[in-house]
Chains A and B, each alone.
Chain A
């Protein structure tokens, strides 16, 4: 049973560029949440997608946008990259709102902005 799959694993981009990160949720899960984890920090909630709609959003600017597809996979897009966007981006899936099962996390995409 495949867990959460994220691609790519590593990425280097230049300031001002745009990036798209991809996530396939665990089989049977229908909800995808994205988190940003800066070095030495805890994960910060970006947004959550359910039924192809953004259900809740954290305190991130509009440069961060997302999408969920009918097969429940999801993309995170970041426009006009800043140096401060360098972080590990984690995708987490769940069946509905996280309950006893919590989230299942992918291994993340390490984004470096230079």
Chain B
């Protein structure tokens, strides 16, 4: 079955780059997503990458996908205090309607 794993915590200084990593198990994944959750709120879609892509850039966000190693990463350039939140990696496997989420990485940005 599908399984998505992330490290639990990341701390960076304001202005530095943040890199959040994720591994998944289902090789039939079609879409991979990054979501952000702020305290007391639902999840907000940040970006996605389709499985036939290696990289996607969207303003300060860069997503890298290594299909061979089933590894996904999210790089946030010039990290700001407003980026402090929990970040979830998620996948939608081929043939399934559901999206499977990881355990989340809490990003702490130190001023």
- Give Cα A45 to B88, complex, Å: 14
- Do B42 and A100 touch (CB < 8 A)? no
Which one, A66-74, A78-86, A105-113, is touching chain B?
A105-113
- Do A48 and B45 touch (CB < 8 A)? no
Which of under 10, 10 to 19, 20 to 34, or 35 or more describes the interface residues of A?
A: 20 to 34
Of B33, B88, B92, B97, which is in contact with the most chain A CB atoms at under 10 Å from its CB?
B97
Q: Is A33 an interface residue (CB 8 A)?
A: yes
- Do A102 and B33 touch (CB < 8 A)? yes
List the B residue with the shortest CB-CB distance to A50.
Answer: B97
Binary A-proximity of B43-65 (CB < 8 A = 1, otherwise 0): 11100101000000000000000
Is chain B's binding surface mostly helix, strand, loop or mixed? strand
- Give Cα A55 to B97, complex, Å: 8
Residues of B within 8 Å of A, CB-based: how many? 24
Contact of A45 among B41, B45, B100 (CB under 8 A): B100
List the B residue with the shortest CB-CB distance to A88.
Answer: B42
Q: Can you give 14 contacting A-B residue pairs, CB < 8 Å? A: A42-B4, A43-B101, A45-B98, A48-B97, A55-B97, A56-B97, A90-B42, A98-B92, A98-B97, A98-B99, A99-B31, A99-B92, A102-B33, A103-B99
Q: Give the A-binding residues of B (Cβ under 8 A).
A: 4, 31, 33, 35, 40-45, 48, 50, 88, 90, 92, 96-104
* 10 interchain residue pairs of minimum CB distance: A105-B42, A42-B101, A102-B45, A105-B43, A45-B98, A107-B42, A56-B97, A42-B103, A43-B101, A97-B97
